[in-house]
Amino acid sequence: MHVIRDLSAWVPPQGAEWEPEARNLLEQFSSSLYSAQTSDYFLIAANDGQLIETWRRLPDSPAVSQARILFEQLLVEDQEDQPGVALRFFNLSRGSSAQLFDFAVDAFLSHPGWKLCFEGENGESMAFGPQSPIRRNYELLQTPLLQQRLRDLLELCDYNDLHIPIREILALLVNAVLGHSGNTCKDHIMVPADVTRIIAEGSVAKASIYNNLIGGNLRESRRESIGVFNYLDRFRLGHETTNRIDSILIFGEADEALQPYYDQYLGSDTFYGADASYRKAQSDYVESADEDLSNSRFLEMLVVQRRALFFKIPANEAADLHLWDLTVFRFAGEYLEKVVRTVHPTIKGRVDRHIVSRLVRGLNRVIVGMLINDDRKLCLGTSLQSTGAKVSRIYEDSISVVPSKGERVEIVWHGNKPALQVTLSEQISEVFPLNLVRYEFLSRVAEGALPSSFSKECYEDVLSFKSRLLTALKKRRKAEAVEGDEFILSFQRLRLDENGNPEHRTIQLNLPATT
């Protein structure tokens, strides 16, 4: 058994020769991958780049280059093994961030050091006493609701192919408890010595865990440089909202209908809810002119409060208050609950018909480039020039959504995420992996709006899926063609009727005799 713990130490510096021993061992490993009998076993830990670079630097031989191509393929295509190769390949950066979070938060909270802080004499001190934001944040981090919401966000990152390493999850937890958005703490992180001053100057609200969780306490450039905060930032928490949410936050105290919500989410939270500075800014805002400069301070507070709401609204009120409208992914909640947690291999459930229909309608609109309303069939159209043309005016075929003559459209589990599977016949099908962005994109298109912020990439993705579907259709036609059939030149014109349903008319041509 050979254990290589630090691969980079084995590679000679640029220009230097390989140590014969190191080189031989790695060559031995390379050949052993494809040999059935070996008495040597290897355990190697390395980073992605190191792995490729090491095998690039090794003197070339068939076994070495074969191994390099293998690693490349396993890495780029997210595979764990390959038939006939004696290798298990665990790509830790492809693990579930949500699962990592479960382990991390548990370890973080149960660390014995916390007891020393909060129990006994220290527990009475300013730094760790009942008024301390550090203590408050630590306690809030223990609440199941907050943990669940944060975990949902991380899980959604997983399904967006954004992978978060464990050290960044730990950084997130530390920042959640110790973050402070004021300028008085070094690096925007509180140390116990800061706490007395923070309480005295009344800037406890700036330590709000709800803001810290997504790196809101950090400067923008710093936030962008840390993967996990960069990813979480893409949810635009705090910047997305609804009229109802903002009404609660701004007018809730004085509005009879909204007051219960206000009390529940802001009034009762003496720490990070409506404290004195919030109430003052709020009343200034309501009474001031629009362009008043002092309003910007209140607007910043609003951002933090919206973030707080995202972590405070309980599951049973999530639908009523449109919780996920607080993010840019309005369909994220549905995606998690009704798609991911329904078709997951451990559950094997079926996704609601209306969800499949909505996605099909979205696909139809992108594929055909017209405002199609049909969601019972997937409509395939083409145009003249490139596959990428915006509008298709030639009808090719349509695929039934409900199972019919071997055709169907359904949501299945594919690899590590859900996918829309289009089956054209027993042998021919194509899948469109549904990451969160694509799911949101298709759902919004189906509802009639094209969100420009993330549409370009998705649009291209759908068009390349369209091109694969057209190739599949060609394959089916070929398989179904009867030999000796006469060639007829014909076109099918695609139009929408007044209800937005596609209709097509066949145009047949009489070829001139000479051709």
Partner 1 sequence: MPLMLMPMPLPFLSDSDLLVARPPKGHYTRMLFWLDEQIWGHRVYPQTPWLMFLECLTVAEYFFREGSLLQEPDSYPALVYQPRRRMRLRNILWNNELIKSLEDEKLDSNTTWNKWLDWMKENAMHVTDTDFSYLKGRFERFSDFAFLVGMLRDASVESESNKRWTSRFLFPFGANAIYEDQDLKGDRDFNNFTRTGELLYLMLCRSAAADSLRPYLHDFLKGDNEWNQLLTVLEREPEKGDEERKHSYLPYKQHPCFDALGQDWLNLFQLGLPNFDVLNHLVTLGAFHVLLYQLHVAAEWTGKAEPLTFLCEVVAPKKTLVREVSIINFQENNGLSGDAVQAYITRIQQSDAWQQALQLLTPADVFDGCQQVLQKEIWWDDAADYDRSHDPDELLDYLREKAQVRHQQHAGEVHRTLGRLIGLVSRRGTNKYRYAPTDGLLKTLIFANVPHRMELKEFFQVLYSRYGLVFSEREASLVIAEEEYDPKPFAANAARLESRLNSLGLLRRLSDGCAYVINPNGQSSQGHA
Residues that bind partner 1 in the complex, under the rule CB under 8 A: 47-50, 52-53, 65, 68-69, 72-73, 75-77, 93, 163, 165, 382-388, 393-394, 456-457, 460-461, 464, 467, 470-471, 489-491, 493, 507-512, 514-515
Nearest CA to 91 out of 79, 103, 73, 99 is that of 79
Q: How far is the CB of 479 from partner 1 (least distance, A)?
A: 18
In three-state secondary structure terms, 357 is helix
Separation in Å, CA 503 to CA 269, 366, 373, 376: 58, 17, 12, 14
Nearest CA to 181 out of 146, 126, 133 is that of 133
Q: How far is the CB of 321 from partner 1 (least distance, A)?
A: 33
Total residue count of the chain as it appears in this document: 515
Nearer to partner 1, 373 or 467 (CB): 467
Nearer to partner 1, 78 or 317 (CB): 78
Residues 6+ apart with CB under 8 A from 222: 188, 215
Nearer to partner 1, 39 or 490 (CB): 490
Q: How many Å apart are CA 471 and CA 1, to the nearest integer?
A: 49
Q: How far is the CB of 56 from partner 1 (least distance, A)?
A: 8
Nearer to partner 1, 243 or 386 (CB): 386
Q: How far is the CB of 47 from partner 1 (least distance, A)?
A: 4
Q: How many Å apart are CA 189 and CA 221, to the nearest integer?
A: 16
Specify the DSSP element, H or E, that contains 470.
helix 455-480
Nearest CA to 215 out of 186, 188, 250 is that of 188
Sheet containing 377-382: give its strands across. Answer: 377-382, 394-400, 490-496
Q: Residue 368 half-sphere exposure, CB side, CA atoms within 13 Å?
A: 33
Give the count of beta carbons closer than 10 Å to the beta carbon of residue 476: 17
Identify whether the C-beta of residue 218 lies closer than 8 Å to the C-beta of residue 180.
Answer: no
Give the count of beta carbons closer than 10 Å to the beta carbon of residue 423: 20
Q: How far is the CB of 493 from partner 1 (least distance, A)?
A: 6
Nearer to partner 1, 68 or 223 (CB): 68
Nearer to partner 1, 346 or 386 (CB): 386
DSSP state, residue 340: I
Nearer to partner 1, 322 or 393 (CB): 393
Q: How far is the CB of 460 from partner 1 (least distance, A)?
A: 6
Q: How far is the CB of 383 from partner 1 (least distance, A)?
A: 8
Nearer to partner 1, 405 or 456 (CB): 456
Q: How far is the CB of 229 from partner 1 (least distance, A)?
A: 16
